[in-house]
């Protein structure tokens, strides 16, 4: 499997705080990669660096072999690299169906291509994907009126609507009703297997990430602490220490 995303020695500072220090990681085409680490270890900052929200202070980021470290968020998204947010971001005053329609890939086109109504094929796809995440009944509701968990699902569906090559998910199960988590894991797997979306997932729920990810990277204090298969990472004493403190 070839590398889809390569993060090479990325450093990002906020004033005197080094949020990411020489972080390197690789996401291979077609896999589900996990990113774990205690609170404040720099996971979300790394997402910001990859998707262009934060400029990197050092290092390089390659997507499909091409450097994206200097690009802004929108051009990066158009290359097929999207993210979701820990606190969810949806268009609150628009209906779920409208949220989906404006997230379609063709909405990224130029001005002229926007001067038409939403094509029937897009509407069908939006309906299918809303059904896929279990929100089809809510399609005419305002996105802002959904519960936090439902907004997470909507945001996930919006991302899929965009047909990304790589999707970065920031804590997809946080705030979701525990009884629905298994269903969500199943949907993430299906998005990966059936829609061909490579995933990089930040997750605090160890049961979820150990089940889901093929490979896991663990960050602590902004640096890569461990890397490997879920079993290897689980067995790594340094990972346990980072989470629980040294005994």
Partner 1 sequence: MSRITDWHIMGALALAGIAGPLLLPGLATQIAFLWLMVVFALTWDMLGGRMGYNSFGNIVFFGIGCYAAAVVQRDAGLPYFEGLALGLLVGAAAAVLAAIVFGAAMLGIRGHYFAIGTLGLGIAAGEIAAGWDYVGAGSGMALPLYPGELGSRELFFCYSLFALAALCFLVFRWLYGTRFGLALNAIRDDHDKADAMGLRTTPIKIFAWSLSAFFLALSGGLAANMIGFIDPRDVAFAGATFGVWMVLMAILGGKGTLWGPVLGAFVFHITQELFWTYLLGWQRVALGLLIVVIVVFFPQGIMGWWAARRARAVS
Binding site for partner 1 (CB under 8 A): 51, 53, 72-75, 77-78, 82-83, 89-94, 98, 101-103, 106-111, 113-118, 158, 162
- Provide, rounded to whole angstroms, the least separation between the CB of residue 101 and partner 1: 6
CB of 114 to partner 1, least distance (A): 4
Residue 93 or 241 with smaller CB distance to partner 1: 93
**CB of 225 vs partner 1, minimal distance in Å:** 28
End-to-end CA separation in angstroms for the chain = 39
The CB-of-5 to partner 1 minimum distance in angstroms stands at: 16
Burial class (CB in 10 A: 0-12, 13-18, 19+), 91: middle
Closer residue to partner 1 in complex, CB, 20/151: 151
- Joined together, the tokens standing for residue 153 give 């699902």
Pick the closer one to partner 1 by CB: 118 or 206: 118
CB of 65 to partner 1, least distance (A): 20
Alpha-carbon gap, residue 33 to 30, rounded angstroms: 9
Q: Which of 94/210 has CB closer to partner 1?
A: 94
Residue 107 or 206: which CB sits closer to partner 1?
A: 107
Query: Min. distance of Cβ 75 from partner 1 in angstroms?
Result: 8
Angle CA 158–160–161, to nearest 5: 60
Q: Residue 8: CB partners within 8 Å, gap ≥ 6?
A: 24, 59, 60, 61, 62
3 state SS of 198: strand
Q: Contact 176/184 with Cβ under 8 angstroms?
A: yes
Per the CB < 8 A criterion, the answer to whether 79 and 68 are in contact is yes
Residues 6 or more apart whose CB falls under 8 angstroms from that of 86 comprise: 44, 170, 171, 174, 202
Which long-range contacts (C-beta less than 8 Å, at least 24 apart) are formed by 211-214?
211/185, 212/32, 212/34, 212/185, 212/188, 213/32, 213/33, 213/34, 214/31, 214/32, 214/33
Q: How far is the CB of 98 from partner 1 (least distance, A)?
A: 6
Closer CB to partner 1, residue 71 or residue 219? 71
Residue 72 or 238 having the CB closest to partner 1: 72
């Amino acid at each position: 499997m070839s590398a889809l995303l390569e993060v090479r020695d990325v450093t990002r500072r906020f004033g005197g705080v080094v949020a990411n220090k020489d972080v390197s990681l690789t996401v291979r085409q077609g896999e589900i990669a996990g990113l774990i680490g205690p609170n404040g270890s720099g996971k979300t900052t790394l997402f910001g660096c990859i998707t262009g929200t934060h400029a990197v202070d050092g290092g390089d980021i390659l997507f499909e072999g091409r450097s994206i470290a200097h690009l802004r968020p929108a051009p990066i998204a158009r290359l097929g690299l999207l993210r979701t947010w820990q606190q969810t971001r949806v268009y609150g005053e628009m209906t779920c169906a409208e949220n989906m329609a404006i997230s379609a890939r063709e909405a990224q086109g130029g001005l002229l291509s926007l001067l038409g109504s939403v094509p029937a094929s897009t509407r069908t796809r939006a309906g299918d994907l809303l059904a896929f995440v279990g929100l089809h009944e809510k399609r005419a509701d305002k996105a802002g009126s959904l519960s936090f968990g439902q907004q997470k699902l909507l945001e996930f569906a919006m991302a899929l609507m965009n047909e990304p090559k790589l999707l970065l998910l920031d804590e997809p199960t946080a705030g979701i009703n525990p009884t629905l988590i298994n269903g969500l894991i199943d949907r993430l797997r299906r998005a990966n297997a059936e829609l061909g979306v490579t995933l990089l997932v930040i997750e605090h729920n160890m049961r979820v990430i150990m089940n889901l990810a093929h490979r896991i990277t663990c960050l602590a204090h902004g640096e890569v602490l461990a890397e490997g298969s879920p079993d290897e990472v689980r067995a790594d004493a340094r990972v346990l220490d980072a989470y629980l403190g040294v005994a």
